[in-house]
Amino acid sequence: MTGMEAAIRGALEKAGIPGAQARRRIYDSARGALDRSLERQGIMDADRIAEHRHRLEQLIADIEAEWTPPGETDAPGATSPDLASPGLASPGLASQQWPDAPAASPAHAEPAPVIPAPGESRQTGRTPAIEPAWSDPAATAPQPGHSAAPTIAPVSRASRPQETPRSEASLDFTPDASDHAGPTGFAGDAGLDAERPPHIPAPAGTQERPERTARIPIPRKEKRRRGVFAGIFSAAVMLSFLGIGIWWMVDSGLFKSAAERDTGVPNPPPSLSRDDFDGGPQQLNPGAGFSGDWTNVFRPGRDGTAEARGDATAEIIEEDDSTVLRIISRSGTASGEVLVPLSAEVMQALAGRKSVMALTVRTASPEATQIYVKCDFSVLGDCGRHRFNVTYDTTDILFDLDYDRALAPNEGGNLVINSDISGGGKGIDLVAVRIRPAS
């Protein structure tokens, strides 16, 4: 009966401060729950059923003694079971199933939901309806000693305000809102005030939902106005930076054109004018580019006569202020050579030292040619074969002579020249031949 006691006390506490009628309904719901539990467990022994009912009545009497005020004669615990109102059964009691006692199969006008026992797990949803009432009037008649099981209204899971732990049974009693709802909206205030025992104080005022706390907007800090001096200083700094930037762009020549940024020496495009053209041939001055160290060893028309071989010609050409030896070779071999004589004094000057020989020449026509020069200096020997390119402009061609260990000869020698290696008959004009000691 420990679970039953906890369930009854819990139902009374949840009902607030119930009056006699409310307590009577809770006790009747407990009796009906005990009968259903015994019937579900199949306990049909009359002695055991009577024992369980007796223990429940003692428990109800003890609990009622705590709630009954002094001087109250009508105790709901002693009320006949027939006074129980099946339609006002407590949902908390309806959800309990009590072991250890059988119960007679009660007959009901309407099917009642199955209430799980404290040891069984709760089931969600609706429970199956009980079979229709028996036709036997003896079976439907209430047994003496206890009231008939009241009809328990089904309670959905959504309507349960709070699940009761499995260790404690629940006998929640909710008075009918239509019978006990007061003007304040709290169900049962009027009926409970009428049936409240004198020794139990009145409940507190109407429970109202606390009002929501209004959000107070946080005042924003006002922007501090910038002082006049700070504004002037900021503007001055900005203007100074702007001026520095403009000065840098002007100084770096960013606004100048490419021609203005070019600081080099002006380079005008080349052009020709009448003053740049010489207008005609100039007077030849063979010795204009030579110093006093140079010695003329052959001058055409003065220092001997040149000898031409079979495929070559050599003649003296008189010009305004000078004389030249025109050599024309029609063969690139030895037959196209011309021998230019050099005296014995020249051979002696070359012997025993190193010297440099220079020939001043130009082509006889505007067409360029290629010549070769050889030496035939008696006992001094030769000087090798030298090839040169000659143009229409007067040019000095030079080559080295090395007769450092040679003896001085007593006879002269010849300078061999071919004016056209290709044998095309191109001619040259020999202006002069000079020598000087090698430095």
Residue 280, pLDDT score: 53
SS3 category, 375: strand
Mean pLDDT of the chain: 71
Going by the DSSP 8-state scheme, the letter that residue 377 receives in this structure is -
Residue 232, pLDDT score: 92
> For the residues 325-354, what does the mean pLDDT come to?
91
Amino acid at 98: W
CA pair distance 435, 79, nearest whole angstrom: 168
Please, are residues 418 and 357 in contact by the beta-carbon 8 Å criterion? no
Residue 276, pLDDT score: 62
Could you tell me if residue 89 is inside a domain? Answer: yes
Choice between 224 and 379, residue whose per-residue pLDDT is larger: 379
Choice between 315 and 126, residue whose per-residue pLDDT is larger: 315
Q: State pLDDT tens for residues 299-334.
A: 998 888 899 999 999 999 988 778 899 999 999 899
Amino acid at 414: N
Q: Is the pLDDT assigned to residue 372 strictly greater than 90? A: yes
177 and 35 within one domain: yes
Could you tell me which of 384, 354, 356 has the C-alpha nearest to residue 372?
384
Could you tell me if residue 157 is inside a domain? Answer: yes
27-36, 162-171, 203-212: which range is least confident on average?
162-171
Give every CB contact of residue 308 below 8 A, 6+ residues apart in sequence.
Answer: 314, 327, 337, 338, 339
Could you tell me if residue 351 is inside a domain? Answer: yes
Residue 84, pLDDT score: 37
Q: What is the dihedral of CA 372, 377, 378, 383, to 10 degrees?
A: -60
Using 50, 70 and 90 to split pLDDT, how confident is the model at 67? confident
Could you tell me if residue 298 is inside a domain? Answer: yes
Residue 390, pLDDT score: 93
Tokens of 142: 């209430």
Q: Is the pLDDT assigned to residue 23 strictly greater than 90? A: no
299 and 155 within one domain: no
SS3 category, 389: strand
Q: Looking at 218-320, which runs of residues are DSSP E strands?
A: 295-298, 307-308, 312-318
427 and 321 within one domain: yes
Count of residues making up the chain: 439
DSSP notation for 66-84: HHSPTT----GGGS-GGG-
Please, are residues 96 and 45 in contact by the beta-carbon 8 Å criterion? no
* Residue finishing a domain among 176, 195, 214: 195
Please, are residues 108 and 151 in contact by the beta-carbon 8 Å criterion? yes
Q: Which domain holds residue 50?
A: 2-195
CA pair distance 296, 355, nearest whole angstrom: 13
177 and 36 within one domain: yes
CA pair distance 99, 118, nearest whole angstrom: 8
Q: Is the pLDDT assigned to residue 192 strictly greater than 90? A: no
Q: State pLDDT tens for residues 381-421.
A: 888 899 999 999 998 999 999 888 778 788 889 999 999 99
Q: Which residues pair with 360 in a beta bridge?
A: 396, 432
Could you tell me if residue 174 is inside a domain? Answer: yes
Listed in sequence order, the DSSP H helices in 124-263 are 137-140, 177-180, 189-195, 228-251, 258-261
CA pair distance 199, 188, nearest whole angstrom: 19
Could you tell me if residue 251 is inside a domain? Answer: no
Please, are residues 297 and 303 in contact by the beta-carbon 8 Å criterion? yes
Please, are residues 104 and 39 in contact by the beta-carbon 8 Å criterion? yes
> For the residues 13-33, what does the mean pLDDT come to?
86
* Residue finishing a domain among 195, 229, 246: 195
428 and 304 within one domain: yes
Q: State pLDDT tens for residues 225-248.
A: 667 888 899 999 999 999 999 999
60-64, 90-94, 259-263: which range is least confident on average?
90-94
Could you tell me if residue 229 is inside a domain? Answer: no
- With a pLDDT cut of 90, the percent of the chain lying above it is 26
Number of domains in the chain: 2
Could you tell me if residue 370 is inside a domain? Answer: yes
Amino acid at 256: K
Q: Is the pLDDT assigned to residue 179 strictly greater than 60? A: no
177 and 53 within one domain: yes
Tokens of 213: 């706390």
Could you tell me which of 48, 57, 171, 172 has the C-alpha nearest to residue 100?
48
* Residue finishing a domain among 195, 216, 239: 195
Q: State pLDDT tens for residues 245-278.
A: 999 988 888 888 877 777 777 667 777 665 665 5
Please, are residues 86 and 151 in contact by the beta-carbon 8 Å criterion? yes
| CATH number assigned to the domain comprising residue 389 | 2.60.120.260
